[in-house]
Amino acid sequence: MINHDIVIIGGGPAGLAAAISCYENGNQDIIILERDNSLGGILNQCIHNGFGLHTFKEELTGPEYAARYVAKVQSLGIDYRLNTMVIDISKDKVVSSINETDGLMQIQAKAIILTMGCRERSRGALNIPGYRPAGIFSAGTAQRYVNIEGYMPGRQIVILGSGDIGLIMARRLTLEGALVKMVCEIMPYSGGLKRNIVQCLDDYNIPLRLNHTVTKIFGKERVTGVMVSEVDAFRQPIPSTEEYVECDTLLLSVGLIPENELSRKAEVAINQKTQGPEVDESLSTSIPGIFAAGNVLHVHDLVDYVSMEAALAGKNAVKYVQGLLKTGLSIVIESKNGVRYTVPGTINPDNAEDITVVRFRTSDVYRDAYLSVYLDDERVMHLKKRILTPGEMEQIVIPKKWFAERPNLKKITIMVEKE
Amino acid sequence: MYDIIIIGAGVVGSSIARVLSKYKLKIAVLDKEVDICEQTSKANSGIVHSGYDAHVGSMKAKMNLRGSKMMEKLCQELDVPYRRNGSMVLALSLEDLPKLAILKTQGDTNGVEGLRILTRDEAIKMEPNLSNEVAGALFAPTGGIVDPFKLTIASAEIAFQNGVEFKLKTKVIDVEKHDDHFVVFTDKGELITKVLVNAAGVYADDFNNQLSAHKLKITPRKGEYCLFDKQVGNLVDKTIFQLPTNLGKGVLVTPTPDGNLLVGPTANDIIDKDDISTTAEGLKSVVDRAKKSVKQIPMGFVITAFAGLRATEQNGDFVIGEAADVPNFYNAAGIESPGLTSAPAIGEYLGEMISQKLHAVAKSDYVKIRKDTVRFESLSLAEKAAIIKENPEYGKIICRCELVTLAQIKDAIHRPLGATTLDGIKRRTRAGAGRCQAGFCSPRVIEILAKELHLDPREIAKNDNNSVMLIEFDKDSL
Ligand SMILES: Cc1cc2nc3c(=O)[nH]c(=O)nc-3n(C[C@H](O)[C@H](O)[C@H](O)COP(=O)(O)OP(=O)(O)OC[C@H]3O[C@@H](n4cnc5c(N)ncnc54)[C@H](O)[C@@H]3O)c2cc1C
Ligand SMILES: Cc1cc2nc3c(=O)[nH]c(=O)nc-3n(C[C@H](O)[C@H](O)[C@H](O)COP(=O)(O)OP(=O)(O)OC[C@H]3O[C@@H](n4cnc5c(N)ncnc54)[C@H](O)[C@@H]3O)c2cc1C
């Protein structure tokens, strides 16, 4: 058994930022464990630009953004292991991992930061009927084929789901010479960022079919086509609208799921809405000393926020090791009326920073509505929003002084209001 | 000239081949597919039925009982995942309770051991997630679950190791009876054999009807399933059936030996013997019906759906044995459910018959025991440490969801009758069978297959020559 103060699981942007933050906050006994053959996480395959606008005030590609953090980690001399897969975490913080050279490695940690990212939802979750031919890929897999392995998944493509990865791949495959016939989205709105719809679909005349889904896959060995249907208000296909679309490839961009199999092994409580751990203001999970940040916590659209969130987790992990994180009563954050969830879910004023950033997504599209914050029954914030959509993460900021002013505060409520 | 040619490398053909490989005989198994276990044997419930629902006195009852008895020991010898988890048939209304008693009587008569009627409370105590509609249940402690791929592959591997030839990608087109032999016409040429065994699944009627005046008619009866993530694999511990209908055993909810949850199948007679597509109605009906058995079906955790075809013969029973009017022609036809359970028994039964007929002599060097590809995920931490020390390639994870390592994939390729396709790797190692459904590992597995088999990655298929994964190599060419 080896000992380290802080073990970081996953070397994507969240893990890298967490490690740097640990170091800068005074703890140098850190190790990052990464299962891939390089640091950087999913960014390595995102060769489009649009990363880092908030952090660096310039538009970087995914690998460029990652490279800045990797360089920092290396210059600080932070220890990391590649090709090292964590296979178990115990409640008492023993991290077990394997790789070719060290074999099984067991580390007793004082604190653990979970930064394992997320994975893509597969076809099964949609239960699209038909055969199971070759030619059905998740958008991220296709991205990996094209950008890293140098293969094309197909020539004539239909994309189901308008998540960001699907949108990005529509453009990418078009640039590589494929014909992207359409992007179908079952919801009346896209799950991706507005800027991606404009830059990846509109600019290339790729139709976005809202309220449409794929109802059947054709082809026994390789995909030969799909049936596309419009759906009604209950998202049920309308038979008379069926349209056969010839294609050799179906890409799925139907959502991401935080990768929490390890968290479950350590008995970390999982939020049913986010599928990520329940966390408090310090990004501590239900198991003291285990922290979480980035896509493993909730799916982010912008990497800048991932980095910020992870830095906070790193800082608090250091505090925890020093015994400086307080335990005690927490104020609950309730999400209501169109606010699907919040991260964090509770705030302990004793640990709160000067400002606490609360991130969330809405469950529907709202136009010209208000985002409101209530402290118990008192409305303290009422922000007019031109548009709120599930595809874009929202945030509000809670200043620490609110707690000092209201020592008996029990509950913060965040909701969407019509007026 | 072959002593024996077996058409079909499903679980039945492979089981027959395994038993006959004990003897000094020249045997070939022919299959049109690129791998063994590519048809019905890969798409079923994987249940080792205890035998209460086969009609008294039928061939099905006989083979089912014998197969169920043989399964545990055989799976030990062949290193195949098997668990005797027990099964339950639910009555979902008070009116249905008498039907449980009838089923029990049939089972008792068939010789099924330990059958017991449970009250509603007893049933719910055993399986807390049963639905509130449950009125009572028949409990069969001898019911089990088995990995159908592994049972088929293991049987074929043993046969292969004992000298049986497997001619894959070899489609039988015609069979002809001559005085003392058969001519088997295939798309790869003609073969001659003394004895012909027909284990061609849904196509078995074709070959019987070419040779025998006793015509068979096999109708494919489709069964569709939803498979769920391991995270919800413990929704039930036993296999939960509903009362059988005249189309089959009804929709079941069961854990699999690998820890997933399986829900299905439907039962619909169809025409096309290759139609294993799933349908919207089918998947909906599976879920709707399963909801009657258990409190809730965790739809968010479906990882895939699939369908298989039962080879239902019009007379409703297995057709096993030498055709009365065609000496040396043996059928294993109409092997619908419980065919997987029965396969070892069918192998034993026909194996004995045929070896006696040929006055075959047993081999002295018959290999009976098989070691499966290491199941890395199920090793303890200490065992994992030890095996990586021995071979560092066990430290290199290829499939993250199922924790499958490079060493396992290479073994699956190089072991007897090794894998050549993505699906072949999946069935032998579970790489790609997990929650991301090969999203992550397929590029890696394609690469390993190409390297180990000295092929171009573009030649690697999912399961068939026409199912190549990648269309073009290298963007430079564009
Ligand atoms: C296709 C795509 C396009 C995007 N486009 C943009 C954009 O234009 N602009 C923008 O700002 N943001 C974008 N994002 C969002 C941003 O990239 C992600 O939110 C961010 O990468 C998440 O970081 P992470 O560290 O949480 O997760 P990841 O980057 O997924 O990193 C997780 C790491 O953990 C490792 N890991 C997981 N489990 C284990 C284990 N058991 N053992 C060891 N290691 C493990 C993984 O290998 C991985 O390296 C995009 C995301 C994607 C997927
Ligand atoms: C939905 C469903 C659920 C089931 N559940 C269970 C269960 O829980 N328990 C149980 O005991 N049984 C079950 N069964 C039954 C069991 O799966 C089958 O009885 C068994 O797999 C049949 O095996 P087989 O070898 O006869 O057929 P197959 O596996 O279909 O093998 C036949 C082989 O013959 C080959 N072949 C056909 N024609 C030719 C040709 N012209 N030339 C060359 N090769 C040819 C095919 O390629 C195929 O590989 C189920 C079946 C279904 C469909």
Quote the percentage of chain B above a pLDDT of 90. 91
**C-alpha to C-alpha distances, A276 to A117, A262, A294, A312, B209, nearest whole angstrom:** 10, 11, 10, 17, 59
Q: Which residues contact B179 (CB under 8 A, 6 or more apart)?
A: none
The stretch B64-69 carries a mean pLDDT of 98
Q: Would you say residue B473 has pLDDT above 60?
A: no
List the single range of A227-231, B242-246, B326-330, B471-475 with lowest mean pLDDT: B471-475
Q: Tell me the three-class secondary structure of chain A, residue by residue.
A: CEEEEEEEECCCHHHHHHHHHHHHCCCCCEEEECCCCCCCHHHHHCCCEEECCCCCCCCEEHHHHHHHHHHHHHHCCCEEECCCEEEEECCCCEEEEEECCCEEEEEEEEEEEECCCEEECCHHHHCCCECCCECEEEHHHHHHHHHHHCEECCCEEEEECCCHHHHHHHHHHHHCCCEEEEEEECCCCCCCCHHHHHHHHHHHCCCEEECEEEEEEECCCECCEEEEEEECCCCCECHHHCEEEECCEEEECCCEEECCHHHHHCCCCECCCCCCECCECCCECCCCCEEECHHHCCCCCCHHHHHHHHHHHHHHHHHHHHCCCCCCCCEEEEEECCEEEEECCEECCCCCCCEEEEEEEECCCEEEEEEEEEECCEEEEEEEEEEECCCCCEEEEEECHHHHHCCCCCEEEEEEECC
Residue B461 has what pLDDT?
87
CA distance between the termini of chain B: 52
Residue B471 has what pLDDT?
59
Q: Rounded distance, CA A285 to CA B183, Å?
A: 70
Assign a CATH topology to domain B376-459: Arc Repressor Mutant, subunit A (1.10.10)
**Which of A9, A88, A221 would you mutate first to test chain B, the one with the most B CBs within 10 A?**
A221
Helices B11-20/B148-161 angle, 10° precision: 30
The stretch A190-194 carries a mean pLDDT of 88
Q: Would you say residue B467 has pLDDT above 80?
A: no
Of A88, A138, A150, the CB nearest to B439: A138
**Which of B471, B473, B476, B478 would you mutate first to test chain A, the one with the most A CBs within 10 A?**
B471
For B164-190, what is each residue's pLDDT tens digit? 999 999 999 999 999 999 999 999 999
Minimal CA–CA distance to A242: which of A277, A281, A213? A213
Q: Which residues contact A316 (CB under 8 A, 6 or more apart)?
A: A282, A283, A284, A291, A325, A351
Please report which confidence band the pLDDT of residue B383 belongs to, taking 50, 70 and 90 as the band edges. very high
B306 forms bridges with which residues in the sheet? B225
The stretch B266-276 carries a mean pLDDT of 95
Output the furthest CA–CA distance in chain A (Å, rounded): 67
Of B393, B462, B478, the CB nearest to A177: B478
**C-alpha to C-alpha distances, A277 to B37, B100, B455, nearest whole angstrom:** 41, 45, 44
Across the interface, do A104 and B478 touch by the CB < 8 Å criterion? no
Please report which confidence band the pLDDT of residue A191 belongs to, taking 50, 70 and 90 as the band edges. confident
What is the 3-state composition of chain B as percent helix, strand, coil, each rounded to the nearest 5? 35, 25, 40
Please report which confidence band the pLDDT of residue A218 belongs to, taking 50, 70 and 90 as the band edges. very high
Q: Which residues contact B138 (CB under 8 A, 6 or more apart)?
A: B52, B88, B89, B100, B103, B104, B107, B115, B116, B117, B118
The stretch B274-284 carries a mean pLDDT of 92
Instruction: Give the distance from CA B244 to its chain's centroid.
Output: 21
Minimal CA–CA distance to B471: which of A251, A146, A153? A153
Evaluate whether B219 touches B267 at the Cβ level (below 8 Å).
no
Give the CATH number of domain B85-145+220-311. 3.30.9.10
Report the separation in Å between the CA atom of B10 and the middle of ligand 2, taken as the mean of its atom positions: 6
Minimal CA–CA distance to B393: which of B382, B406, B378? B406
Q: Would you say residue A377 has pLDDT above 60?
A: yes
Residue A338 has what pLDDT?
96
Instruction: Give the distance from CA B366 to its chain's centroid.
Output: 24
Evaluate whether B89 touches B137 at the Cβ level (below 8 Å).
yes
Task: Please give the ipTM for the structure prediction.
Answer: 0.86
Please report which confidence band the pLDDT of residue A124 belongs to, taking 50, 70 and 90 as the band edges. confident
Q: Which superfamily does CATH assign the domain made up of A1-120+255-325 to?
A: FAD/NAD(P)-binding domain (3.50.50.60)
Residue B291, phi then psi, degrees to nearest 5: -60, -20
Q: Would you say residue B143 has pLDDT above 90?
A: yes
The stretch A348-366 carries a mean pLDDT of 96
Give the number of the atom of ligand 1 that is nearest the alpha carbon of residue A164: 3
Q: Would you say residue B476 has pLDDT above 50?
A: no
Mean predicted lDDT score pLDDT of chain A: 95
3-state secondary structure (DSSP) of residue B33: coil
Mean predicted lDDT score pLDDT of chain B: 95
User: Is position B49 annotated as part of the catalytic site?
Assistant: yes
Q: Rounded distance, CA A253 to CA B440, Å?
A: 14
Across the interface, do A130 and B277 touch by the CB < 8 Å criterion? yes
Residue A100 amino acid letter: E
Of A127, A131, A152, the CB nearest to B471: A152
- Is the previous residue joined to B265 through a cis bond, with omega within 30 degrees of 0? yes
Residue B478 has what pLDDT?
33
Q: Nearest ligand, CA of residue B223?
A: 2
Q: Rounded distance, CA A71 to CA A77, Å?
A: 10
**Half-sphere exposure of residue A91: CA atoms within 13 angstroms, side-chain side:** 5
Residue B465 has what pLDDT?
66
Q: Nearest ligand, CA of residue A115?
A: 1
Residue A419 has what pLDDT?
86
For A30-85, what is each residue's pLDDT tens digit? 999 999 999 999 999 998 888 998 888 899 999 999 999 999 999 999 999 999 99
Q: Which residue has the higher pLDDT, A131 or B309?
A: B309
The stretch A251-276 carries a mean pLDDT of 94
Minimal CA–CA distance to A304: which of A30, A12, A3, A13? A13
Of 3.50.50.60, 3.40.50.1000, 3.40.50.1370, 3.40.50.2020, the CATH number of A122-254 is 3.50.50.60
Across the interface, do A100 and B393 touch by the CB < 8 Å criterion? yes
Compute, in degrees rounded to 10, the torsion defined by CA atoms A217, A220, A223, A227. Answer: -20
Q: How many CB atoms lie within 10 A of CB A346?
A: 17
**C-alpha to C-alpha distances, A288 to A17, A24, A27, A274, A291, nearest whole angstrom:** 21, 22, 18, 20, 8
Q: Where are the domains of chain A?
A: 1-120+255-325, 122-254, 328-419
**The pTM of the whole model exceeds 0.80:** yes
Please report which confidence band the pLDDT of residue A276 belongs to, taking 50, 70 and 90 as the band edges. very high
Report the separation in Å between the CA atom of B331 and the middle of ligand 2, taken as the mean of its atom positions: 14
Is residue B473 classed exposed, middle or buried when 0-12, 13-18 and 19+ CB atoms within 10 A define those classes?
A: middle
Q: Rounded distance, CA A131 to CA B305, Å?
A: 9
Minimal CA–CA distance to B120: which of B132, B103, B129, B104? B132
Q: Where are the domains of chain B?
A: 85-145+220-311, 376-459
**Half-sphere exposure of residue B70: CA atoms within 13 angstroms, side-chain side:** 20
Which residues of chain B are within 8 Å of residue A177 when distances are taken between CB atoms? 478
